[in-house]
């Protein structure tokens, strides 16, 4: 037996013995198949290739983490409907959903003029719709209230997840690449209908003269994957602390957490 594998195996054995459910993370590599996503300087490579590679690298980095399981909602170059991605996460019992994407500047902005990463969560109006939908599906008022509470708590936890991912990416790529946490400016339907906190991450701009080649390089992919994996382990640890000492990680409960959360736009 490899000595370095003893600690993860022991921790996993202890987790199984206590009946603790694993922290399941659903990774959604954006695009796929005929939906190629943003182009790159290499005619044979598109956003869909990078997102799948990043998801696989994150999964590989986390495969020996005790009490943590990574599910890929797209594991090959196939066209996958949005609802299939949502269903993948819900059926896996995921406690976190991360949709991975890469950017390209709009015609108005000017191709190659933008760079940096940004993270998206559902806007408040979409959360309200999720709450209303949950209430419609509930069998009685008590279940409707509980479903609404879960939806709003997931929204607050999504912001917490976005902040942690933002911190890790800024640390890895530089704070000058930080375009902030946003609730508009991207198609966010993949974040709807989920039973867990969810974020969409744009790791950078593929059409930027420097950032594009870096993201496609082995160093770039390793750097981004390490940051995402680090954020996931941070969030796993946060959840464990919350179970042991709830008041230290959620002072005032979900309502206060949602009220105190901040969403920021691009830095100057």
pTM over 0.75: yes
Name the residue among 119, 114, 99 with its Cα closest to residue 206.
114
C-alpha dihedral (108, 112, 118, 119), degrees to nearest 10: 70
H-helix or E-strand spanning residue 173: helix 141-173
- With a cut of 60, say whether residue 267 has pLDDT above it: no
What pLDDT score was predicted for residue 16?
Answer: 46
- With a cut of 60, say whether residue 232 has pLDDT above it: yes
**Per-residue pLDDT tens for 158-185?**
999 999 999 999 999 999 999 999 999 8
For the chain, the distance separating the N- and C-terminal CA atoms, rounded to the nearest angstrom, is 52
Alpha helices, DSSP H only, in 35-123? 47-62, 82-91
- With a cut of 50, say whether residue 5 has pLDDT above it: no
Q: Count H helices, E strands: the chain?
A: 9, 6
What DSSP state is assigned to residue 175? G
Rounded Cα gap, residues 223 and 28, in angstroms: 18
Name the residue among 225, 188, 229, 187 with its Cα closest to residue 204.
225
* Interaxial angle between packed helices 253-260 and 141-173, expressed in degrees from 0 to 180 and rounded to the nearest 10: 40
**Per-residue pLDDT tens for 36-92?**
999 999 999 999 999 999 999 999 999 999 999 999 999 999 999 999 999 999 999
Mean pLDDT of 177-205: 96
**Per-residue pLDDT tens for 89-143?**
999 999 999 999 999 999 999 999 999 999 999 999 999 998 888 888 888 888 8
Rounded Cα gap, residues 131 and 115, in angstroms: 35
Which residue's structure tokens are 């209230």?
145
On whether the CB atoms of residues 26 and 98 are closer than 8 A, the answer is: yes
Rounded Cα gap, residues 36 and 54, in angstroms: 15
What pLDDT score was predicted for residue 36?
Answer: 98
């Amino acid at each position: 037996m490899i000595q370095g594998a003893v600690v993860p195996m022991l921790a996993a054995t202890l987790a199984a013995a206590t009946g603790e459910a694993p922290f399941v993370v659903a990774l959604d590599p954006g695009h796929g198949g005929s939906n190629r996503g943003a182009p790159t300087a290499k005619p044979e490579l598109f956003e869909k290739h990078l997102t799948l590679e990043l998801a696989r690298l994150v999964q590989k980095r986390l495969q020996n983490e005790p009490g943590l399981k990574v599910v890929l909602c797209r594991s090959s170059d196939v066209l996958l409907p949005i609802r299939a991605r949502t269903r993948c996460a819900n059926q896996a019992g995921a406690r976190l959903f991360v949709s991975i994407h890469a950017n390209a500047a709009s015609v108005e902005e000017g191709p190659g003029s933008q760079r940096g990463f940004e993270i998206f969560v559902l806007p408040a109006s979409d959360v309200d719709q999720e709450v209303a939908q949950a209430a419609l599906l509930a069998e009685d008022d008590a279940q409707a209230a509980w479903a609404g509470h879960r939806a709003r708590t997931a929204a607050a936890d999504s912001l917490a997840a976005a902040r942690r991912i933002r911190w890790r990416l800024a640390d890895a790529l530089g704070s000058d690449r930080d375009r902030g946490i946003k609730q508009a400016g991207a198609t966010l339907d993949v974040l709807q209908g989920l039973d867990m906190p969810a974020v969409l991450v744009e790791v950078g701009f593929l059409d930027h003269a420097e950032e594009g080649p870096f993201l496609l390089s082995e160093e770039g992919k390793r750097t981004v994957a390490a940051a995402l994996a680090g954020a996931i382990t941070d969030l796993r640890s946060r959840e464990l602390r919350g179970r042991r000492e709830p008041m230290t990680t959620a002072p005032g409960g979900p309502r206060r957490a949602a009220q105190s959360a901040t969403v920021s736009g691009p830095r100057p």
